[in-house]
Copies of this chain bind each other. A is one copy, B any other.
Amino acid sequence: MMTSVETDIHFDQQVAWLRALADPVRLKIVHLLAAEALCTCHLVDETGARQTNVSNHLRFLRDAGLVESEPHGRYTYHRLRPEAMNRLAQVVNQLADATHVVQSQNVRRPCP
């Protein structure tokens, strides 16, 4: 049984993940990284965004826990973190599943 603090932390984590994905450039980056690990310069080419902007977005994604980065000489490789992507998928799946139950059984709270 989750306490209120644990629930809040988990909820805030969900918001952070979703915010991270809610920007077009960042979502594009995540789609690209879902196919292969890439350097910043690859992401700059693929997205068409300025290098500094890509760097800012990657910072955001890292802070949200979705991406990890690793220096490789003068280059930096970025990849998605599977466990974070999994947990996000779990949340969304639970919402989608619950939505079906609510609809099929027409669950609703009575009006006051």
Is residue A107 within 8 Å, beta carbon to beta carbon, of the partner chain? yes
Residues of B within 8 A of A22 (CB): 15, 18-19, 21-22
Q: How many copies does the complex hold?
A: 2
Secondary structure call for the A interface: helix
Among B14, B89, B102, B107, the residue within 8 A (CB) of A27 is B14
> Chain A: interface residue count, which band?
35 or more
Contacts of A94 in B (CB 8 A): 34
How far is the CB of A81 from the nearest CB of chain B, in Å? 8
**Using Cβ atoms and an 8 Å threshold, which residues of chain B touch A96?**
82, 85-86, 88-89
Interface residues of A (CB under 8 A from B): 11, 14-15, 18-19, 21-24, 27-28, 30-31, 33-39, 41-42, 72-73, 75, 77, 79-82, 85-86, 88-89, 92-96, 98-100, 102-103, 106-109, 111-112
5 A-B pairs within 8 Å (CB atoms) are namely A18-B22, A34-B94, A37-B107, A82-B103, A88-B92
